[in-house]
Amino acid sequence: MKASLLPSQIRQKNSYLCVGLDPDLDKLPDGISKSAQGVLEFCLQIIEKTLPFTVSYKLNTAFFESLGAEGWKVMEILFSHLESRNVFAIADAKRADIGNTSRQYARAFFENMGADAITLSPYMGFDSIEPFLDYPDKTAILLALTSNPGHADFEMQPLANGRKLYEEVLVRSQSWERKGSLMFVVGATRATELESVRALCPDSFLLVPGVGAQGGDLKEISEKGMNGSVGLLVNASRSILYASSGSNYAMAASKAAFDMQQEMERYLRKL
């Protein structure tokens, strides 16, 4: 699904939830095989039971890549399935390199996998991002202000021009010709900076991980991060995937997603 369709999908479902698919073999529920086939079964069940309440899914590629060739095949199947279900499918791969290499990454995830978007590290500059922007119907999601404790090591460092490094990423990328194909990652635990982020990229969608297990506050994120088109995809992974470790895992995930959707609907009414 194209990113341009997200606002209408959000209004249709009264949800800006993105479910993160991080299938850890050690956390798979009872009765699910700890194998690539088990991961596929688990993810398909999660998707089917949470689909009414979400507009997007984010596949953390590390959890699939660690399974070897079979894991890549599982990703292909899941992206194809998500395309058939008309939701925004993100490859959380955190790629980007010199132009020739980035071009191959873009081909791998946009052409072969069929992802709608990919997360990218922007710190090698525009030429490392440009190949992903050559796909007009796809989205490049730049890491801006992440939720991990080490974010302060680089992202928060002040520059000579008075901006912090994450702010420079936002400002520079807003000057790019194809900025309409960009989104930005802003961690839910960085809610205090959301107002400054929104001021620097008022029209962009923000992918906000860290709600749920990482402690991000949905109310604060929604109040500070929404724009006229909503402009938010709030990701929850572990709190939904592992809502139960028993055979009722899919229904428990459905209930967790429904609860988040209900809260989101309240905030959407205020727009």
Point out the residues that are catalytic: 94
| Integer-rounded Cα radius of gyration of the chain | 18
- Residue 14 one-letter amino acid: N
Which residue from 221, 207, 243 is spatially nearest to 60, judged by alpha carbons? 207
Residues counted in the chain: 271
Integer angstrom CA distances of residue 255 from 236, 244, 260: 13, 11, 9
Classify burial at 270, counting beta carbons within 10 Å of its beta carbon; exposed 0-12, middle 13-18, buried 19 or more: exposed
> The tokens of 42 are what?
């688990």
